[in-house]
Structure formats: structure tokens, C-alpha cells
Amino acid sequence: MEHTADVGIRAYGAGLGEVFRNCALGMMSLMLDLEKVRREKRIRIEAEAGDREALLVAWLSEVLFHVEAEGFAFGWFTEVELSDEKAAAWGWGEPLDPARHGLKLEVKAPTYHGLELREDGGMWVAQVIFDV
């Protein structure tokens, strides 16, 4: 997705849990080469927020937090378990390795700007713009 200042992703899924997962994979793919990440270790990721859109932003912020604070590269996520105000999943990957992971952008944050999360003809579609 094109945005003059920043970059965005559009993700799809048969259910909400899948679209949340695909958004996280999309975000990771902006930062590094997903295929180069080995699935060696898993980290539990949990987020909470008051509504569905806020939960998507909180979920992605939580993934990003682990990447930056723990220097962890995610290459895969389990389908996100969702309740009204909570999202949780396991993220698989390994410690971030600048030499091997084909690092790309530094993502500062997922934003609410242009955020979309809707069901369209039986599919879930999400759009997220990131500050990079």
C-alpha cells in the first residue's frame, strides 16, 4: 500500500484471528526477510484494548515491542486467539541477526491513521499504516 510518508499493509483472513496474524506477518515483512527467520523459539504475545480496532493496534504494538526490546525476529505466528478485549498468540522465531535476516525498515509504530478492519464477502480485511 502506498502512503507518501509511511508504509501500509493490507491483510486478509478467513476469520479475525487469521487477519490479526497476517497483519503481524505483514509488519514483520516490512522489517526483515521472513523466509530467513528460523523458527527456533516461541514467545507468548498478549494484548488488551477496549475495541477491535484498538486491539489490532495494541496487538501489533506488542509484537513490535518484543522485536525491539528483546531483539527478537518473528517469522511465524499461530492464529490469534481473540475475545472482546484480548488477543493472544505464540510468535515463532529466533534472536534478530542483522547479518542474516535481510533487515529492511525500522517500524516505529502501527497507527490509527487509515486503519480499517472489516468483513467483506466472507473474508476479513485489515489495512494498517505504520510510522517508519
Residues of this chain that interact with other proteins (CB under 8 A) are 2-7, 31-32, 49-50, 53-54, 57-58, 61, 65, 68-71, 96, 98, 102-106, 108-109, 111-115, 129, 131-132
Instruction: For the CB of residue 121, give the shortest distance to other proteins in the complex, in Å.
Output: 25
DSSP tag of 14: S
Closest C-alpha to 9, from 117, 121, 102, 123: 117
Q: Which helix (H) or strand (E) element contains residue 60?
A: helix 52-70
Instruction: For the CB of residue 33, give the shortest distance to other proteins in the complex, in Å.
Output: 10
Closest C-alpha to 130, from 32, 56, 27: 27
Instruction: For the CB of residue 98, give the shortest distance to other proteins in the complex, in Å.
Output: 5
41 or 113: whose CB is closer to other proteins? 113
